[in-house]
Chains A and B, each alone.
Chain A
Amino acid sequence: MRGDPKFSNKTNITISVDGQVGDEIRQYAEKQGLSTNSLVNKVLKDYVMFGKYFQDHIPVVIAPQVFSHLLEEVDEKVWIKAWEIALMQVTPEVFAMHNLEPTLDNLVRHLLGDIGPRVGIFDKFTFHENEAKNYKLMMVHKYGIKWSRVLATSFSNMFVKAFPVKVTTKVSTNTLTMEIHENNSEPYNQLYLATP
Chain B
Amino acid sequence: MVKASQRKKPNITIVSDAKTLNELKKWADSKGLSMNALINEVLTKNIFFYRYVSEHEYMIIPSTIYSDMIDILPEKTLVDLVSRTINETIQSIFAHNNISYTMDNMVKFYFERVGLWSGLYNIFKRYSDMSSTNLVFEHKYGIKWSKIIAQSISNLMKDTLNLSSEHKILPRTVILQVDKR
- The chain A residues found within 8 Å of chain B, CB to CB, are 1, 4, 9-19, 21-22, 24-25, 28, 36-37, 40-41, 43-48, 51-52, 54, 57-64, 66-67, 69-70, 73-74, 78, 82-83, 85-86, 89-90, 118-121, 123, 142
Asked if A9 contacts B18 (CB within 8 A), the reply is yes
Chain B interface main SS type: helix
Cα of A89 to Cα of B65 in the assembled complex, Å: 11
Cα of A21 to Cα of B48 in the assembled complex, Å: 9
Asked if B10 contacts A19 (CB within 8 A), the reply is yes
- In the bound complex, residues from chain B placing their C-beta under 8 Å from that of A89 are 62, 64
- The chain B residues found within 8 Å of chain A, CB to CB, are 7-21, 23-24, 27, 35-36, 39-40, 42-44, 46-47, 50-51, 53, 56-66, 68-69, 72-73, 77, 81, 84-85, 88-89, 97, 117-120, 122, 140
Closest CB pairs A-B (n = 3): A120-B59, A60-B119, A119-B60
Contact of B39 among A10, A15, A59, A74 (CB under 8 A): A15
Q: A40-B43, A43-B43 are in contact. Are A64 and B60 (CB under 8 A)?
A: no
Contact of A90 among B27, B62, B117 (CB under 8 A): B62
Q: List 10 A-B contacts (CB under 8 A).
A: A16-B36, A22-B9, A28-B47, A44-B24, A64-B58, A64-B59, A66-B85, A73-B72, A74-B68, A86-B61
Asked if B15 contacts A11 (CB within 8 A), the reply is yes
The closest CB in chain B to the CB of A37 belongs to B14
The closest CB in chain B to the CB of A123 belongs to B57
Asked if B40 contacts A47 (CB within 8 A), the reply is no
Extra contacts, 5 of them, besides A14-B11, A66-B81, A74-B72 (Cβ < 8 A), are A17-B11, A18-B40, A24-B47, A69-B77, A89-B64
Asked if B119 contacts A11 (CB within 8 A), the reply is no
Most B CB within 10 A of own CB, among A22, A66, A67, A83:
A66
The closest CB in chain A to the CB of B139 belongs to A58
CB distance from B81 to the nearest CB of A (A): 5
Q: A13-B35, A25-B43 are in contact. Are A60 and B63 (CB under 8 A)?
A: yes
CB distance from B11 to the nearest CB of A (A): 5
The closest CB in chain A to the CB of B118 belongs to A61
Cα of A165 to Cα of B58 in the assembled complex, Å: 33
Asked if B59 contacts A43 (CB within 8 A), the reply is no
Asked if A44 contacts B57 (CB within 8 A), the reply is no
- In the bound complex, residues from chain B placing their C-beta under 8 Å from that of A60 are 60-63, 66, 118-120
Q: A40-B12, A74-B72 are in contact. Are A67 and B59 (CB under 8 A)?
A: yes
Cα of A19 to Cα of B65 in the assembled complex, Å: 38
Most B CB within 10 A of own CB, among A1, A17, A45, A57:
A17
Cα of A121 to Cα of B21 in the assembled complex, Å: 29
Cα of A9 to Cα of B9 in the assembled complex, Å: 28
- In the bound complex, residues from chain A placing their C-beta under 8 Å from that of B23 are 48
Cα of A16 to Cα of B97 in the assembled complex, Å: 21
